[in-house]
């Protein structure tokens, strides 16, 4: 292991920053579908965006390698950062670890709510803040216990979703059977909102997001009713808590800081790519074979939850071995800079895409196919990689990192570097 790759610069690790930068780029590959197309297109390719030719392959590759996997990697890193920042606070003379953490989570909720309403209803920050409140008291458990707790939560979530998928399938069969009662049909109509879009769903979103800024805000508020009413408490938050427990353990075990042997990283890559990815691809093939039947799709995607963390860790392990070998130094430096500004880059991705797709901007909402959306992704990636390193050459923090840190500490933090040789302060993770 090279000293530059593994040793913290100040309180930072190049390896963690680079993996985080990779994750913040990758998460846009899936978010872009909900940003540029009616929301149900994220779940059901035939609803919008196309499901043939290049659009089909775009869905398939993302389904196997990025859907839920980049979010998992981002979440694992959040758990790691919770420990890293708490350890730093324990060494410092300022706020206690608990004060630092809970203030960070409070302001993260504020940022997240503003982000969700103004720019992107699929915001992950509120989920992370709530999950962060839960995991903090367990940060000093031994890694084995943290992994056991995290795995138990994720398995319980899987069991709940498998049971729910079975209930939905049974209810659909009962509601479509001859002589079905009005009560059963009404129950199916209510349950079906989780697997099939309402007939006017696309038209409403096209009108809202294709209008002015306030029209888009109103459209987001409608989507947030479902997102915060069901998905957040019953799926997103439990999944984030489970993954954060695992992320805390992996940090303690040295996974993200090049503390594992190359053979161990290779084993993570082999399991992720040779076992989990083919299983996920088989499930994707079954979904395609069903003609993207909404009920079958929902049932099969539930089982894809089992592979998300392992494929995410395989992605990370590849990059960590690249860093250890000293390869692609220029790209790694760009990713690390993007990772140091992950908070700003995540928010800027939403701001840029809101302007691209909103009627108050370029008005491209609903105009691009699934494959064509990748051009927007490429443009945002180019922006992130182009601005992060030059920005950090002049400023201690990304703009939103600076605001977050200043709010947590209750006073403006140094922002502009005094000169070319000024040493960067450790940014809020």
162: tokens are: 């498998």
Geometric angle at alpha carbon 65, from 61 and 69, rounded to 5°: 140
Rounded to 5 degrees, what are φ and ψ at 68? 80, -20
Alpha-carbon distance of 378 to 276, in angstroms, equals 27
User: Tell me: the pLDDT tens digits for 324-362?
Assistant: 999 999 999 999 999 999 999 999 999 999 999 999 999
Residue 6 has pLDDT above 80, yes or no: no
Given a cut of 70, whether residue 427 has pLDDT beyond it is no
Give me the chain's average pLDDT, please. Answer: 92
**What does the alpha-carbon distance between residue 318 and residue 336 come to, in Å, rounded to a whole number?**
15
Q: In 261-289, which positions are buried (b, 16+ CB within 10 angstroms) versus exposed (e)? A: eeeebeebbebbbeebbebbbebbeebbe
Taking 80 as the threshold, does the pLDDT of residue 254 lie above it? yes
Phi then psi dihedrals of residue 9, to 5 deg: -95, 105
Give the residue extent of every domain in the chain. 3-388
Given a cut of 80, is residue 408 above it in pLDDT? yes
| Cα end-to-end distance, the chain, whole Å | 24
pLDDT tens for each residue of 29-58: 999 999 999 999 998 999 999 999 999 999
Per-residue pLDDT of 62-118, as tens digits, reads: 999 999 999 999 999 999 999 999 998 888 768 899 999 999 999 999 999 999 999
Residue range 201-207: average pLDDT? 90
Q: Could you tell me the pTM of the whole model?
A: 0.92
* pLDDT attached to residue 426: 39
């Amino acid at each position: 292991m090279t000293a530059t790759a593994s040793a913290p610069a100040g309180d930072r690790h190049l390896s963690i920053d680079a993996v985080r930068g990779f994750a913040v780029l990758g998460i846009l590959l899936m978010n872009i579908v909900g940003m540029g197309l009616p929301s149900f297109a994220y779940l059901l390719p035939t609803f919008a965006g196309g499901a043939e030719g290049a659009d089909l392959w775009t869905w398939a590759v993302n389904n196997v390698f990025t859907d839920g996997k980049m979010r998992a990697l981002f979440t694992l890193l959040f758990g790691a950062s919770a420990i890293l920042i708490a350890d730093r606070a324990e060494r410092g003379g300022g706020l206690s670890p608990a004060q630092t953490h809970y203030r960070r989570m409070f302001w993260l909720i504020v940022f997240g709510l503003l982000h969700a309403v103004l720019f992107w209803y699929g915001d992950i920050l509120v989920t992370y803040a709530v999950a962060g409140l839960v995991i903090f008291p367990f940060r000093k458990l031994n890694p084995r216990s943290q992994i056991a707790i995290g795995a138990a939560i994720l398995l319980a979530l899987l069991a709940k979703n498998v049971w729910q998928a079975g209930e939905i399938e049974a209810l659909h069969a009962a509601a479509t059977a001859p002589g079905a009662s009005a009560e059963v049909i009404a129950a199916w109509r209510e349950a079906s909102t989780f697997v099939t879009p309402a007939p006017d769903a696309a038209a409403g979103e096209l009108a809202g997001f294709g209008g002015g800024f306030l029209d888009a805000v109103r459209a987001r508020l409608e989507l947030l009713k479902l997102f915060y009413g069901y998905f957040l408490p019953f799926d997103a938050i439990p999944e984030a808590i489970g993954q954060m427990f695992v992320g805390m353990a992996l940090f303690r075990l040295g996974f993200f800081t090049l503390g594992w042997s190359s053979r161990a990283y290779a084993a993570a890559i082999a399991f992720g790519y040779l076992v989990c990815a083919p299983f996920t691809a088989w499930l994707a093939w079954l979904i395609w074979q069903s003609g993207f039947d909404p009920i079958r799709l929902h049932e099969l995607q539930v089982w894809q939850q089992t592979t998300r963390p392992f494929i995410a860790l395989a992605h990370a392990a590849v990059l960590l071995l690249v860093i250890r070998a000293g390869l692609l130094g220029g790209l790694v430096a760009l990713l690390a800079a993007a990772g140091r500004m992950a908070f700003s880059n995540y928010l800027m991705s939403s701001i840029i895409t809101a302007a691209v797709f909103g009627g108050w901007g370029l008005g491209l909402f609903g105009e691009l196919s699934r494959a064509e959306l990748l051009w927007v992704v490429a443009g945002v990636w180019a922006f992130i990689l182009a601005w992060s390193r030059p920005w950090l050459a002049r400023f201690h923090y990304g703009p939103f990192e600076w605001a977050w840190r200043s709010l947590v500490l209750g006073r403006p933090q140094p922002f502009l570097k005094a000169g070319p040789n000024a040493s960067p302060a450790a940014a809020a993770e």
